[in-house]
Copies of this chain bind each other. A is one copy, B any other.
Amino acid sequence: MEKKVLVETSARHVHLSQEHIEALFGKGYQLTHKKDLSQPGQFACEERVDLIGPKGTITNVLILGPARPASQVEVSATDARSLGIKAPIRESGDVAGSGACTIAVGDKSVECAEGVIVAKRHIHMTPDDAEKYGLVDKQIVEVKVTSDDRTLTFGDVVVRVNPAFALAMHIDTDESNAALCKPGTMGVIL
């Protein structure tokens, strides 16, 4: 059986703590739900922020809800370079000692001493998916993506198993461009 997985490209985005949401948008503010994402409970927000680093600014960056215990900024390595930030490759939530930046909305801003990462490529799946594919949580796999001019096999792909997940591989825009991914591109777990 070919172990197929939908490959989704994560554009740069931020997850904000409620403290940071209130510092940027006002006391008691709730983010506005715009669109559900593939992972259940996750959503894109109407609100946008600017990311400011020592070398540059990226405007109009997506916020993903709901609020999290700590703010986290996920950028591509290309973005990190243009911002002038050293952002390590990390799994979501593993932000200790990661990159620093300023998050701004209009004239309000918050300083993140850490939280800027380049997301480690990963596959979300349910325990049923994992059993069907013969995989376990935290397993490292390879995924081949076949395209017209940029066929590529990603190594170091982390499998993440949780009943609340939906089956999808997440890569950043650099990785997506390197494999010429398009909406609907499927990968095969080797």
Contacts and interface: CB of A to CB of B under 8 A. Distances in A.
Interface of A: 76-78, 89, 120-121, 142, 146, 148-156, 173-175, 177-180
Contacts of A76: 78, 177
A78 B152 contact: no
A29 to B, nearest CB: 30
B89 A149 contact: yes
A178 B175 contact: yes
Contacts of A77: 177, 180
Nearest to A142: B153
A180 B89 contact: yes
Nearest to A175: B178
A118 to B, nearest CB: 8
A185 B76 CA distance: 20
B155 A152 contact: yes
A174 B120 contact: no
A149 B146 CA distance: 21
